[in-house]
A and B are shown apart, each in its own frame.
Chain A
Amino acid sequence: MSTVVDDHNHEAHHDHKPSGITRWLFTTNHKDIGSMYLWFSLIMFFVGGAMAMVIRAELFQPGLQLVEPQFFNQMTTVHGLVMIFGAVMPAFTGLANWMVPMMIGAPDMALPRMNNWSFWILPFAFVILLSSLFMEGGGPDFGWTFYAPLSTTYSNDSTALFVFAVHIMGISSIMGAINVIVTIFNMRAPGMTYMKMPLFVWTWLITAFLLIAVMPVLAGAVTMVLTDKYFGTSFFNAAGGGDPVMFQHIFWFFGHPEVYIMILPSFGIISAIIPTFSRKKLFGYSSMVYATASIAILSFLVWAHHMFTTGMPVFAELFFMYCTMLIAVPTGVKVFNWVATMWRGAISFEVPMLFALAFVILFTIGGFSGVMLAMTPVDFQYHDTYFVVAHFHYVLVTGAIFSVMAASYYWLPKWTGHMYDTTLARLHFWCSLISVNVLFFPMHFAGLAGMPRRIPDYAVQFADINQITSIGGFAFGLSQLIFLWLVIKCARGGEKAAAKPWDGAEGLEWTVPSPAPYHTFETPPKVE
């Protein structure tokens, strides 16, 4: 048996991917899995978006025109669940899968077969969740926050499917997080010390730890809801000695870190894009790392700011108010560092940069409404109104979603080997930017004027605001079709992209060809 291995044949054999459905079902390749996550997320974005269209269509005018209140409540609930667990989180996981190994010079994720499972259980979970809408009695209708006892004693049987689906989504996230941590700890190329890692890798590392810490608590909360409903426990039932407010404490102990899970990767993306298009290194790299870590730690101390009206004692209200205000400090540091990165750089405005700049401005606006919400006495007026809806949509849509779009435009050339159609991309950007603000900005006013959340019909003084909002909503929804078309078009063809299409870009991912070969960094690169 010859001991000389024919390298070329070996490589060719490696690059021979199985074709057809079996490739995708059984792949352990981080690029394939990353692509599947991203496509899944895009599809779920449209599914959740369709539900938002139903909501905005009903709220276009006062009165009940299109749907019954019970169905409306199902729409708001499933819209939230789909967007959080089906669109935002899988999008970031897809980006992590694609980019983290390349950014650290690793050939793949540490646990490729678990990686496959992490993805494939997600469509399974969402089939379960979405099919519950077609059950007799309808789907879950208690808000994505599923407070007890509305979700226990007073819910229909779709609750069981909801719980099952959430468990599966949680397992997927936990497995993904384990994979990210082990990969980053163990598979960095020699010379890639922690403080040399791109910020996207840092933010995902910290996000992964947050996921490990809080997804199991969500699993606990959702299990307690199941047992309260079906197995006679009384965790949240006063009659049996339980406390419905305890549900909120347990839920938000997960829920608050969860929202940071949904934004920390964004910070990493923006920290990659702004330096590239400013042609200047990221300002204050170490503070960016420390700020991200502080945000993550502080996120465990603020959960009850979602509960100021539940009847907490003054001491607790003050504690949570102070801690919540404190989170603004490291977050502000990050914003200032991005501006300082731009400052006296040489800025160009390709579409990834447009989205990144929009992110900084609009996420900061969301941050301002967050500071306002933190002030407990005024929160009594904002809580459970459209002011809160405006706040979280600013940080999640113009925040997280815009960062995903920025990342997509930034890395599409690397993924597909083609430049995207820049005219379409600019059209997508401007349509989205304008419509998203027409959609969400007026919600601040609706909330201040007194419109509560989660209502299918409203008093006539809110009519104008809602009509403007709905028009923005329809326009925003339509604008995303441009993105869908553009991504498909780019995947199929287009101007050939160089290994490094952006002259200011830095990082190992730009040292491999575009499209990135199926296997990259099989031999680790040397990092200075």
Chain B
Amino acid sequence: MKMKPLWALPLLYSASALSQERSLNLTKGVTEVSRDVYDLHMTIFYICCVIGVVVFGLMFYSMIRHRKSRGREPAKFHENVKVEILWTLIPFLILVGMAIPATSTLIAMEDTSDADVTIQVTGSQWKWHYKYFDREVEFFSRLATQQQQIDNKFDKSENYLREVDNPLVLPTGQKVRFLVTSDDVIHSWWVPDFAVKKDANPGFINEAWTRIDEPGIYRGQCAELCGKDHGFMPIVVIAKTPEDYAKWIDETEAKQIAEQKRQQELLDMEMSMDELMAMGEKIYNSTCAACHQPNGQGISGTFPALAGSPIASKPENIDKHIDIVLHGVQGSAMQAFAQQLTMQELASVITYERNAWGNDTGEMVQAADINAAMNK
């Protein structure tokens, strides 16, 4: 990373301070609230600058003009009630002046009524979970940056540490209400472009709202120390026009409902040990015994024995066993059976192989396990 020389800092500030990319200033954001917040920020900042210039100006003036080395006698005054009252009252009035716009912005920010869309936001170590209250859509949103980038083995992407696998999708122009909570410790959901930051407290829900003006991608981060990966649970919101959003939510809901149905079917396919062994023996004898022999002994030198084989009889090798049956063994006669048998059949024959001929692992493989292995 090339280092900018110190003198460039003021240039940096003036040139890009008020622009959004590589900014040194608060973002103006994409909501009315965020713009009000930005304006308030700049107002207070300018007032502080003016006060600073006056006070420091007086100080520097005094340091120069009232130096002893100029051969001056020090004055004797050390109180003046009028002046003191003035410089108590004037700051007080300035503060009152600041408080008025701050109060009205705050009251507007805390009004969550009449929302169009409600999102449940749940923080946990170390990811976010989003659930659309009115629809059957929910998902986890995790950091998508590769570990190798963090470990400095790969170059860092443009959105390093600010990208997720499943961003939150929201409509523009509609009031979105967030219900924020946590499953474990305190987290905080923060998207600077919305000026929304709300703590996620375990056991309690907090509310926040926003109305996004422009479509785009908006990134934020967790803003409360929550353990070791506090810096690694970003937030990404994709704002779409209401039409695009409606399309997205319909599609996603349909996908999720279909997925839920499939999961349910898989679970419904659960079999007992007896059922697995019965079906497994049938499949084995019709599909596998040709090579591995009905007694599991195989043919020495050509087809390996399954009876007493480490792969079929040791618990630590169950994944390898599943993998071989599903995907075959390259360069050998062992085929991939993933497409040839149903998930239930695959589950049962592997169970049979792990329990027959004295292998006796006691383990059961279910259709859901095959499904998981296939989708790894």
Contact = CB atoms under 8 A, between A and B. Distances in A.
Taking chain A's interface residues, is the majority helix, strand, or loop, or is none over half, making it mixed?
helix
Contacts of A63: 149-152, 156
A271 B300 CA distance: 97
B302 interface: no
Contact of A457 (B36, B80, B150, B224): B150
A378 B67 contact: no
B142 interface: no
Contacts of A368: 48, 51-52
A355 interface: no
A314 B107 CA distance: 7
B95 A339 contact: no
B359 interface: no
Given A63-B152, A310-B201, A346-B68, A154 B24 contact: no
A453 interface: yes
A384 interface: yes
Interface string A82-108: 000000000000000000000000000
Question: Max chain B CB contacts within 10 Å: which of A65, A341, A376, A450?
Answer: A450
B225 A147 contact: yes
B72 A381 contact: no
A235 to B, nearest CB: 13
A370 B78 CA distance: 29
Given A283-B78, A377-B37, A461 B190 contact: no
Contacts of B376: none
B25 A372 contact: no
Question: Max chain B CB contacts within 10 Å: which of A143, A314, A348, A377?
Answer: A377
A339 B36 CA distance: 35
Contact of A348 (B68, B77, B162, B225): B68
B330 interface: no
Taking chain B's interface residues, is the majority helix, strand, or loop, or is none over half, making it mixed?
mixed
Contacts of B45: 372
B308 to A, nearest CB: 42
Interface residues of A, number: 101
Given A154-B227, A449-B23, A335 B185 contact: no
B344 interface: no
A329 B91 contact: yes
Contacts of A463: 1
B192 A450 contact: yes
Interface stretch (A182-190, A202-210, A320-328, A425-433): A320-328
Given A332-B87, A377-B40, A378-B40, A458 B231 contact: yes
Contacts of B106: 314, 317-318, 321, 376-377
Given A61-B1, A368-B52, A381 B68 contact: no
Given A340-B80, A452-B222, 15 more contacts: A73-B228, A141-B228, A147-B225, A149-B185, A150-B226, A310-B199, A311-B206, A321-B102, A345-B74, A346-B73, A377-B33, A384-B188, A442-B9, A454-B225, A467-B1
Q: Which 3 A-B pairs have the closest CB atoms?
A: A238-B203, A455-B231, A311-B206
19 contacts: A147-B185, A243-B203, A279-B74, A280-B74, A284-B79, A310-B199, A310-B201, A329-B95, A333-B87, A340-B80, A343-B66, A346-B68, A346-B74, A368-B48, A381-B197, A438-B6, A445-B13, A459-B162, A460-B158
Interface of B: 1, 3-4, 6, 9, 13, 21-27, 33, 36-37, 40-41, 44-45, 48, 51-52, 55-56, 58-59, 62-63, 66-69, 72-80, 83-84, 87-88, 91-92, 95, 98-99, 102-103, 105-107, 109-110, 125, 149-152, 156, 158-162, 184-186, 188, 190, 192, 195-199, 201-204, 206-207, 220-232
